[in-house]
Amino acid sequence: MYESLQQMQEICETENKAFWELVMEEEANEKQNSHEEVFETMRSMYRAMVQADENYEDRRSASQMTGGAGELMAKWNRDEKTLSGPFLGQVMERALKMAESNACMKRIVAAPTAGSCGVLPAVMITYQKLEKCPEDEIVKALFVAAGIGQIIASRASIAGAQGGCQAEIGSASAMTAGALVFLRGGSLQQIYEATALALKGLLGLVCDPVAGLVEVPCVKRNVIGAVNAVSCSDMAMAGITSFIPVDQVIDAMDEIGRNMPCQYKETSQGGLAVTPAGKSVAL
């Protein structure tokens, strides 16, 4: 297992390999499967994301706290009322739909977690549909995202209970930003810059689920993570860099998570969970 994104970059340069190939090979070695088998497994993950998007239903969750936002966003998009344009409009719509599907116990793909399941597919599916991107390229991008996520998980955390929501939505946003830069033809360094920028923007994000459910504010935070990923990919593609290197940003997230009070780490003892509205639901 690799210890840093810097280490992975050095190996890519020494062995003249693409980042996604390095990640795929590591997965194949760990699972003792062929490269083709691992690639097809990742393809099945992407197709499950697409299916979850297509199978979205306008329904309420068991708690009645969430549901319907995806369809409202879809209608707003159809009426061409978004200030952000078709791409971001559809990203927001899909992020809501995926996260609501999770709250309604529908089949989703944890990317990297169930609570942050809407970020990566919202951007990847929208990019494929609007940019007519081949599915194989999307699968390669998912390996890019997976490689970034693996380093975040090993150097810090992807669990809200351990690092707050920065570890879930923050990680998902960072993974997605890097994957999107790959799809747009960016260099590995630009992938890293986008990753760092996306994670930096969400450092300190607390995990404060109302009534202990992955619904409020989790569903709508998926939108924030997805839009953040798109904006950070644009910055990286424009040549904008992060003053703090990506591995150090990940380490900073770990330090913040370890020092974050426990009431802000999925305990529902702080933040939005203890507002009057939040407490009224928990009763």
Tens-place pLDDT, residues 135-162: 999 999 999 999 999 999 999 999 999 9
CA distance 55 to 193: 34
- 250-266 exposure pattern, b = at least 16 Cβ within 10 A, e = fewer: bebbbebbeebeebbbb
112 with 149: CB under 8 angstroms? yes
Distance CA 109, CA 129 (A): 19
The encoded tokens of residue 175 equal 């993974």
Between CA 225 and CA 233 the distance in angstroms is: 12
Q: Please report, as a single letter, which amino acid is at residue 231.
A: S
Residue 209's pLDDT is: 98
Tell me which DSSP letter residue 265 carries. B
CA dist., res. 149 & res. 42, Å (int): 14
Give the model confidence (pLDDT) of 186-221 as tens digits: 999 999 999 999 999 999 999 999 999 999 999 999
List the chain residues with pLDDT less than 50: none
CA dihedral 124, 128, 130, 133 (to 10 degrees): 140
pLDDT at 177: 99
Residue 1 has what pLDDT?
85
Q: What residues contact 37, with CB distance under 8 A and at least 6 apart?
A: 28, 31
Check if the beta carbon of residue 240 is closer than 8 Å to that of residue 267: no
Pick from 229, 4, 225, 27: which is nearest to 140 by CA? 27
Q: Which tokens is 197 given?
A: 């920028």
Chain length of the chain: 283
Residue 71 is predicted with a pLDDT of 97
DSSP class of 158: S
How many CA atoms are closer than 13 Å to the CA of 268, on its beta-carbon side? 18
What is the C-alpha to C-alpha distance for residues 57 and 261, in angstroms, rounded to an integer? 37
Question: What is the three-class DSSP state of 207?
Answer: strand
The reported pLDDT for the residue numbered 197 is 99
What b/e string do you get for 191-227 counting C-beta neighbours within 10 Å, with b at 16 or more? bbbbbbbbbbbbeebbbbbbbebbbbbbbbbbbbbbb
